[in-house]
Amino acid sequence: MTTRRTLLCSASLLLNQVVKAQPKGGNGIIFEHDLPDLTLNDWSVTALEVSYKPGESTPAHRHPGITIAYVLEGEIRSKVGDQPEKTYTAGQMFLETPGQMHSVSRNGSNSRPAKLLAVVLTKKGAQLTTFTQG
């Protein structure tokens, strides 16, 4: 049986490999966020690379599980839930909790590409993204 601990450890190991591949000036915590209280029986983890061309964006959307995003290159403009819109740069991370509205998701630059790694924890077989109108 897959447990919450197993899934979170797997996601942590994957992100650790990505972080090791990124150049940085020191060691320390780059992201910390409380997690919702969930039972993760019959859940899986999916890692997706999301690339944005200069000025490109995706429509408002939601994910059924927990999404941990790590910016690999460029700048990502994001607004999740009630949080203010923010620009994340390479090496920074953000989190989306189950069903939370991701109303802004776009490249922060009109001249350079941007890329992020999304680690999505969801029930097995769930549709990873549902686009909305607001």
| Residue 53, pLDDT above cutoff 60 | yes
Q: What is the pLDDT, as a whole number, of residue 23? A: 52
Mean pLDDT of 54-81: 95
Instruction: Name the pLDDT band for 76 (thresholds 50, 70, 90).
Output: very high
Q: What is the pLDDT, as a whole number, of residue 4? A: 56
Q: What is the CATH number of domain 4-124?
A: 2.60.120.10
DSSP state string for the chain: ---HHHHHHHHHHHHHHHHHHS--S--S------------TTEEEEEEEEEE-TT-EE--EE-SSEEEEEEEESEEEEEETTSPPEEEETT-EEEE-TT--EEEEEES-SSS-EEEEEEEEEETT--S-EE---
Mean pLDDT of 16-25: 53
Per-domain residue ranges of the chain: 4-124
Higher-pLDDT residue of 23, 130: 130
